[in-house]
């Protein structure tokens, strides 16, 4: 632990900032995984000898979590130029699964980047596309299917946004960002999509780029879009799934 004092403003008292190293090895989550990971992996694989019951990314994140914040797995020495004290900061796992520290850091960094450098000062809506369990198996193993389902959903959403933007031309386009999540809150295999889309469309006009905000985007309209996505995905994906299943 190191205590450093920095004079932020000449007319104010010095602000004391204290760095205290994380000690993940003392948390309940760390101790549970440390003591039971190998046993759980062994039992699970013995119960399913002809399958791969534990996805590689789940085991990877669990093992990386056991190294996150532990000095024995690497660290950086930091020195304060003001007080001359130095201390060690352990490397992080940068995992996307169970590590709450890395997830929180990535959450804040991504939010700041999107708000300051990506999204303009206009309304943004989150669209979440989930799939039934019988389809997740195929999408988890086929990137083309994963991308195809996403494209179907985004095309339907774009048309819905355009239809509810008064005076917006047919050439107007949506803008946003989508994150594909491949597991649920319990690290179960659960592929789904989180799309943060601007609540409107953009079109190029004589005076420059113009934003058209949505009007009347009610719950009924969203349900209609949901039904359209469901029907189009069914018509498109079932032949592909049947082909994969018959080939195994």
Q: What is the pLDDT of residue 90?
A: 92
pLDDT greater than 60 at residue 71: yes
In this predicted structure, which of 74-83, 124-133, 235-244 has the lowest mean pLDDT? 235-244
Q: Note the residue count of the chain.
A: 248
**pLDDT score of 241:** 52
- pLDDT range class, residue 13, cuts 50, 70, 90: low
Pick the range with the lowest mean pLDDT from 138-147, 166-175, 203-212, 235-244: 235-244
Condensed to tens digits (0 to 9), the pLDDT of residues 172-192 reads 999 999 999 888 877 688 899
Is the distance from CB of 244 to CB of 145 less than 8 angstroms?
no
Comparing 11-25, 29-43, 151-165, which segment has the lowest mean pLDDT? 11-25
pLDDT at 247: 42
Q: What is the pLDDT of residue 231?
A: 92
pLDDT at 53: 86
Q: Is the per-residue pLDDT at 248 higher than 70?
A: no
Per domain, the residue ranges of the chain are: 2-90, 119-247
Least confident of 50-59, 120-129, 193-202: 50-59
pTM: 0.69
Q: How would residue 6 be classed by pLDDT, with cut points 50, 70 and 90?
A: very low
Give the mean pLDDT of the chain: 85
Per the CB < 8 A criterion, the answer to whether 66 and 37 are in contact is: yes
Higher pLDDT, 219 or 85: 219
């Amino acid at each position: 632990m190191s205590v450093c004092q920095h004079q932020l403003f000449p007319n104010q008292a010095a602000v004391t900032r204290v760095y205290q190293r994380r000690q993940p090895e003392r948390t309940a989550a760390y101790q549970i995984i440390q003591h039971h990971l190998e046993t759980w992996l062994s039992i699970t694989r013995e119960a399913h000898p002809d399958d791969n019951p534990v996805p590689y990314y789940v085991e990877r994140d669990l093992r990386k979590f056991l190294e996150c914040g532990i000095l024995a797995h690497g660290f950086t020495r930091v020195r304060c130029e003001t007080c001359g004290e130095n201390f060690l900061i352990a490397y992080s796992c940068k995992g996307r699964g169970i590590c709450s520290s890395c997830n929180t850091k990535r959450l804040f960094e991504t939010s700041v980047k999107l708000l300051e450098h990506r999204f303009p000062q206009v309304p943004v809506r989150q669209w979440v596309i989930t799939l039934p369990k019988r389809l997740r198996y195929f999408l988890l193993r086929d990137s083309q299917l994963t991308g195809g389902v996403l494209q179907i959903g985004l095309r339907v959403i774009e048309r819905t946004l355009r239809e509810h933007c008064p005076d917006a031309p047919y050439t107007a386009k949506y803008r946003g960002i989508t994150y594909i999540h491949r597991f649920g809150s319990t690290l179960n295999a659960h592929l789904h999509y989180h799309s943060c889309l601007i609540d409107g469309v953009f079109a190029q006009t004589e005076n420059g780029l113009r934003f058209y905000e949505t009007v009347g985007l009610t719950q009924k309209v969203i349900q209609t879009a949901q039904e359209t996505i469901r029907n189009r995905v069914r018509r498109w994906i079932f032949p592909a799934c049947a082909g994969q299943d018959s080939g195994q």
